[in-house]
Structure 1
Amino acid sequence: MVRVSDSPVTPAAPARATALRPVDLRRVRLDEGFVGDWQRVNRDATIPHVIDRLESTGVLDNLRRLVGESDASFRGPLFADSDLYKALEAIGWEATRGEATPFLPFVDESVRLLAAAQEDDGYLDSYYQGPHAGERFTDLPQGHEMYKLGHLVQAAIAWAHAGRTDLLEIALRYVELVHETFGAGGRDDIDGHPEIETALVELSRLTGDTRHRELAKRMLDLRGYRTIGEGQFGGAYYQDYTPVKKSREATGHAVRQLYLLAGATDVELDDADAGYRSALDALWTSVHEHKMYITGGLGSRHRGESFGDPYELPADRAYSETCAAIANLQWNWRMLLLDGDAKYADEMERGLYNAIAVSTAIDGKSYFYSNPLQLRTGHTHEEDAPSTRLDWYFCACCPPNLARLLSSISAYLLTESDDAVQFHLYAAGRYEIGDGVTAQVATSFPWDASIEISFDGPTVRATQLRIPAWAQGATISVDGEPARTAEAGHARVPAGVRSIALNLPVEPVFERAHPWVDGARGALALRRGPVLYCIEEADLADGVRLEDVVIPAQPVAEEAGYDAALRAPALTISGGRRRAVDGDLYSAEAPASTTELGDVRAIPYFRWANRAPGAMRVWVPTV
């Protein structure tokens, strides 16, 4: 029987005392509201859709083929197994809340196939046991073998928390093979796609076996000596160009970089002497101050799905992969636990309501893989730069990744310390905050400014409320007393209270990009609270081309009411104008004249492409 620790049921529970501690996700029950509704759509629509597509695209057949139950050829990319593991993790988190019953036949079948396909020494990979049998661990730069194992481990951990350990036993057998092959005294090689590092640390926390964390640290410390080679995109693409502890600039494939940083932070969380902190701080600055889109999107180059140079953030060519935004939320969560700075939760919020939320349609059954901030009129539709969301992709990493995040989102809202409980992301629901006290949060945030927290008894510890950096003029009222202004960071309310009223202003404001961001120079972005807005072709009069729409240099935006179809409030920008442009591609003539257009309607960026394919932009030119 596998030993499982009594650590909190959560995606990341540090093994030592850190600034903040995660709260068991079973202590949070979400109510109707933005986050709660999204989690329900995930359970009712996204997960069933993912299961259907895993069957129809051959992911399960790839395993059946190994055990003589299918004669179909291998289908999908070589890392297709990882999509199954992410789906199993998503269902595992649902199981911890008692919500997984409809999915149990799928889980049982998947675990049966995995157990039957696993080799005697623990190896399990439908691609390298299938069409490329006998080539295991021969293409570490692109083979994704340990990346896939990492997702298997994380799925197994979710199910172990739910009380089921058969998947964990499968994962542990494979992990032992990796210890033998790549552990101390073994091969000094690393996988081209980081992910196993954070999974191994999580496994060490679950089982109490610190060998797994040491293996993760070994993999981190082997990276940066160009053992992978240059490959098609160069060593920086694999984060194998500079040792992790010496790295100061985010480079290469964005998802790989961010998963690597999550893993390094996990090791740092559990080992105060790990030595990654200065690199983590420098790389956080590189990512969030030099290479991140205003939406929280990451990765500005389609070539290699990679980070570009500092301030290289073209709106229309933004790659901004969904998985990168998810990885960044996971990394910021770990940094938040490490030292408690509210800036990490600010970035979690930015990504959640923009770069992550935009990836899925209202019905939860179609998705964006890349998330540009502009789509031009007449855009050429292609799979990695579509004109609208697709119900699946050949490389389908994002939909099941989204599913596992939303299934576990309850774990990312709340933390605690010895003397306080911290609310970071605001969602309606019931929170068991410890000390025998339950908090009820009532809010329609992010659409409404009001967040009401009532406690069923006087609080025993202080309550800390994150005040986002964007929320200038935020106020707090305690037990009905007059409201006071709260500054950005964590506002502290002493123990012994029964109610807190927090107001986070969500009036629309315009923002400018750093002047070095050439792709947004002379343009403005509209934000309402944490939500970025865009203008979309669907809201323009017939004959008006989106590229011709300009707004005043000092524009005014007003509320335009709640749009029931989009399930979000719309805004109007007054003083819109239309450029009169001739057909010359280049000209020495003066800029084209403009004519009055009237109010320009704006909708949340994450709701674009829910009505019809068409042009869209976040950064709107001014005149």
Structure 2
Amino acid sequence: MLTDTRNSRYAKLCGTGGKDVRWTNGFWRDAVASCAKSMVPQLEHMFEAKEISHVVENFRICAGEAEGDFDGTFFGDGDFYKWMESELYSAVLLKDPERFQRLRAYISLIGKAQQPDGYLSTKQIIAAMHGESARNKDINEFEVYNMGHLFTSACLYKRMTGEDSFLDIARKAAGYLANLYDQAEKTGNVQTAVCPSHYMGLIELYRTTGDESYLELAEKSIRLRDSVVDGMDDNQDRIPLKEHKKIIGHAVRATYLYAGVADLYAEKGDPDYLRVLHDVWHNMVSTKMYITGGIGALYNGTSPYGNFFKDQKIHQAFGYEYQLPNVTAYNETCASIGLVMWAYRMFLVEPRAEYMDILERAMLNTNLAAVSLDGKRYFYENMLRRAKKLEYELIWPLTRSEYILSYCCPPNLARVIMESAEYAYAVSEDSVYTGMYGENQAHFHLANGADFVMTQTTDYPYDGNIRLQISDIKKDGPVTLMLRIPGWAERAEVTCHGRTETYGKESAGSYLPVALSSLEDAEIVLSIPMKTRNTIANPMVEEDTAQIAIERGPLVFCMEQPDVETESLDQIWLDPSAEYQLRFEQIDGRRIGVLETTAFQRKIWNGNPETDPEGASNLYRTLPKAEFEPVDARMVPYFAWDNRGVGEMRIWMPYRTR
């Protein structure tokens, strides 16, 4: 279970366990199978290789099993713990005893590397072995971040295997943190850990062990943020937490922070924290989130709300409202994953379809776009347009890379894909809420005693027909099935026991209850027609003016160079009244739904500035006359782009009417 809110007083729902639900066929089964068989082993090779990451070697040096100096990133320990989650779920899914055996060996190695006082961060341990004192000197060395991911991974390992070995290591490390925060509170020398994974991790330790000291420590660590001297918008600690109204700063740090605060609210119920969560969430989804669910638009920016005469440069910044460039969109994958973790926790606290809609948007679009279809190459950043030519060089590559220097995203992505089936449902005492749709089978044992299996059959996200069949009833209901109607739906039909109810646009973005007095012979069919949508952006999003994006169901589509005969995608205009036909193709061995249509090609310029009579390469020019002619075109889901060679790509396209 990703986060165990079964006993959380202020959470209305809890998740399903990792062993209780699995994707059985179709879209998500393919993604998970690729991850387990390709991504996860490749990542293990990367962590094992001294010449690539040096991560496992760092643990071996700390454990006395090898000699040498620290190498690699400061946050490599935490990335390895994330990978261990993906390996754990792979071992369970594939029923692979060798994977379990390797995990146990890694846990033993980590335990040997841990210091007697519980401290566990390899860079600093190796420095101490060379006579240097390096602990707690610089928050950007990610010591607490590493421990936070240790906590979460150890809790999941305990829940999935029942074994205490990893949890014992985590509890010792939490003891070290308790002493660290006690000292900080006494001395007033408080620092805010970057990318604060430990808020979520400590609360999971409390939920897993029942030891309230971990909850108290999480609450203290969040409260002490307000004591930081000369805080930064980059870390969201310039102003007290309860004064936060807009989302600012480093996108990963923000999403980790607010996910942790949502966890704390689920346990403590502080209404001021809930108000903060509502305010920053609304600011993000209304003004600072891409159509793909990507967030953190700017590689570097300044705080829009701080003192411009003070150093407020921010990495991976949210920027101003509506500041959403396409070519230079940063959108770190970890930020989108952080958004998923935050949205999920908000959903458990408040079962609103909006949270699951955003979670699904981020998962299906940005997160899956961050890895190639063969599971071997990655984007750290997730741009929305790849231009034919740039007059400047971006800091990041324009195509996916097998190994990227800052390797936090691939293992984070692997774990969120391997754990994705747990986003399919959540439950209350007598209700089952649908989350991300996909073909699956789940075993439910509700607090009211109902015990049954539910099988979901669907070709979602390409088709909106979803069949839910109940079987293997060990104890009958009553049960209420809560069906999510996505915000994009124009209408929906629900059929149960031969009776069909039709719902209009007013049902979009809500949950429809289906009350089942008995589970015997229960079959529910939800039908949500999927029409292609022409989406426009708020006029304040300057880069998307006079352009449309094509969406169908939960998927965002894009056009790539192979999808149309043209010198440049800049010459292609869409027709808002055009029809789109869904077809299926094999791209890199995966079944991908593509949209075929007729677009316009603008005949004015041959794409060569040296022979361009119209001056199309000029910064400003007189509006030229242009002719348009029909051209066959297609669009692919954004998650499937960059799998057919390097060329142009656009989501937002100019449009004209006939």
Which residue identity lines up with residue 224 of structure 2 in the other structure?
Answer: L
**Quick one: which of 75, 78, 94 aligns to 2:74?**
78
2:238 pairs with 1:241: yes
Give the Cα–Cα distance (whole angstroms) in 2 for the partners of residues 467 and 424 of structure 1: 10
What does residue 222 of structure 2 align with? 220
Q: How does 1:391-470 map to 2 (within 5 A)?
A: 391-434=402-445, 435-456=450-471, 459-470=477-488
Shift in Å, 1:224: 4.3
What does residue 156 of structure 1 align with? 154
Which residue identity lines up with residue 171 of structure 2 in the other structure?
Answer: L
State the secondary structure of the residue aligned to 2:499: coil
Determine if contact 2:564/2:631 at 8 Å carries over to the other structure: no
State the secondary structure of the residue aligned to 1:70: coil
**Quick one: which of 20, 23, 32 aligns to 1:27?**
20
Determine if contact 1:551/1:620 at 8 Å carries over to the other structure: yes
Give the Cα–Cα distance (whole angstroms) in 1 for the partners of residues 47 and 68 of structure 2: 14
After superposition, the CA RMSD in angstroms is 2.1
Structure 1 residues 244-253 or 175-184, which shifts more? 175-184
Aligned pair in 2 of structure 1 residues 170, 579: CA closer, same or farther (>3 Å)?
farther
State the secondary structure of the residue aligned to 2:437: coil
Determine if contact 2:78/2:149 at 8 Å carries over to the other structure: yes
What does residue 296 of structure 2 align with? 299
What does residue 570 of structure 2 align with? 547
What does residue 511 of structure 2 align with? 490
Determine if contact 1:335/1:344 at 8 Å carries over to the other structure: yes
Shift in Å, 1:72: 4.5
Determine if contact 1:268/1:275 at 8 Å carries over to the other structure: no
State the secondary structure of the residue aligned to 1:25: coil
Give the Cα–Cα distance (whole angstroms) in 1 for the partners of residues 95 and 579 of structure 2: 42
Aligned pair in 2 of structure 1 residues 170, 622: CA closer, same or farther (>3 Å)?
same
Give the Cα–Cα distance (whole angstroms) in 2 for the partners of residues 115 and 270 of structure 1: 30
**Quick one: which of 589, 594, 600 aligns to 1:570?**
594
Structure 1 residues 325-334 or 177-186, which shifts more? 177-186
Q: How does 1:349-364 map to 2 (within 5 A)?
A: 349-364=360-375
What does residue 251 of structure 1 align with? 248
Give the Cα–Cα distance (whole angstroms) in 2 for the partners of residues 107 and 15 of structure 1: 29
Determine if contact 2:493/2:500 at 8 Å carries over to the other structure: no
What does residue 631 of structure 2 align with? 598
Deviation digits for residues 82-140 of structure 1 (CA, Å, limit 9, x no counterpart)? 11111112223345556353323432332232122211111111111224741100112
Shift in Å, 1:165: 1.7
Deviation digits for residues 392-449 of structure 1 (CA, Å, limit 9, x no counterpart)? 2111111100111122222221111223211121121212233122111111101122
Give the Cα–Cα distance (whole angstroms) in 1 for the partners of residues 578 and 228 of structure 2: 52
**Quick one: which of 313, 330, 348 aligns to 1:319?**
330
Which residue identity lines up with residue 166 of structure 2 in the other structure?
Answer: L
Which residue identity lines up with residue 526 of structure 2 in the other structure?
Answer: L
Aligned pair in 2 of structure 1 residues 442, 560: CA closer, same or farther (>3 Å)?
closer
State the secondary structure of the residue aligned to 2:342: helix
What does residue 196 of structure 2 align with? 194
2:522 pairs with 1:524: no
Aligned pair in 2 of structure 1 residues 592, 391: CA closer, same or farther (>3 Å)?
farther
Structure 1 residues 150-159 or 386-395, which shifts more? 386-395
Aligned pair in 2 of structure 1 residues 451, 180: CA closer, same or farther (>3 Å)?
same
Shift in Å, 1:223: 1.9
What does residue 144 of structure 1 align with? 142
Structure 1 residues 280-289 or 419-428, which shifts more? 419-428
Give the Cα–Cα distance (whole angstroms) in 2 for the partners of residues 294 and 12 of structure 1: 30
Aligned pair in 2 of structure 1 residues 81, 250: CA closer, same or farther (>3 Å)?
same
Give the Cα–Cα distance (whole angstroms) in 1 for the partners of residues 120 and 599 of structure 2: 61
Which residue identity lines up with residue 281 of structure 1 in the other structure?
Answer: H
What does residue 514 of structure 1 align with? 538
What does residue 5 of structure 1 align with? none
TM-score by structure 1 length? 0.93
Give the Cα–Cα distance (whole angstroms) in 1 for the partners of residues 391 and 153 of structure 2: 37
Aligned pair in 2 of structure 1 residues 15, 274: CA closer, same or farther (>3 Å)?
farther
Aligned pair in 2 of structure 1 residues 358, 214: CA closer, same or farther (>3 Å)?
same
Q: How does 1:257-276 map to 2 (within 5 A)?
A: 257-273=254-270, 275-276=272-273
**Quick one: which of 549, 564, 578 aligns to 1:556?**
578
Determine if contact 1:563/1:569 at 8 Å carries over to the other structure: yes
2:53 pairs with 1:51: no
TM-score by structure 2 length? 0.88
The number of residues matched between the two structures is 607
Structure 1 residues 295-304 or 485-494, which shifts more? 485-494
**Quick one: which of 127, 132, 135 aligns to 2:123?**
127
State the secondary structure of the residue aligned to 1:570: strand
Shift in Å, 1:291: 0.5
What does residue 63 of structure 1 align with? 59
Aligned pair in 2 of structure 1 residues 427, 584: CA closer, same or farther (>3 Å)?
closer
What does residue 179 of structure 1 align with? 178
Determine if contact 1:557/1:573 at 8 Å carries over to the other structure: yes
Shift in Å, 1:12: 3.8
Shift in Å, 1:562: 0.6
Question: Gapped runs of 5+ residues in structure 2?
Answer: 301-314, 606-614
Shift in Å, 1:225: 4.8
Identity of aligned residues (%): 29
Q: How does 1:74-113 map to 2 (within 5 A)?
A: 74-95=70-91, 99-113=95-109
Give the Cα–Cα distance (whole angstroms) in 2 for the partners of residues 164 and 38 of structure 1: 28
Which residue identity lines up with residue 626 of structure 2 in the other structure?
Answer: S
What does residue 306 of structure 2 align with? none
Give the Cα–Cα distance (whole angstroms) in 1 for the partners of residues 323 and 86 of structure 2: 34
Give the Cα–Cα distance (whole angstroms) in 2 for the partners of residues 259 and 382 of structure 1: 30
Aligned pair in 2 of structure 1 residues 245, 14: CA closer, same or farther (>3 Å)?
farther
Structure 1 residues 402-411 or 246-255, which shifts more? 402-411
What does residue 4 of structure 1 align with? none
What does residue 6 of structure 1 align with? none
Shift in Å, 1:14: 5.1
Deviation digits for residues 339-380 of structure 1 (CA, Å, limit 9, x no counterpart)? 111111111111111011111111111111110110111359
Determine if contact 2:6/2:13 at 8 Å carries over to the other structure: no
Give the Cα–Cα distance (whole angstroms) in 1 for the partners of residues 599 and 413 of structure 2: 38
Which residue identity lines up with residue 613 of structure 1 in the other structure?
Answer: V
What does residue 642 of structure 2 align with? 609
Deviation digits for residues 529-566 of structure 1 (CA, Å, limit 9, x no counterpart)? 0000000012232x5112222223x3414114111225
What does residue 473 of structure 1 align with? 491
Structure 1 residues 428-437 or 88-97, which shifts more? 88-97
Which residue identity lines up with residue 533 of structure 1 in the other structure?
Answer: F
Aligned pair in 2 of structure 1 residues 217, 594: CA closer, same or farther (>3 Å)?
farther
Aligned pair in 2 of structure 1 residues 100, 152: CA closer, same or farther (>3 Å)?
farther
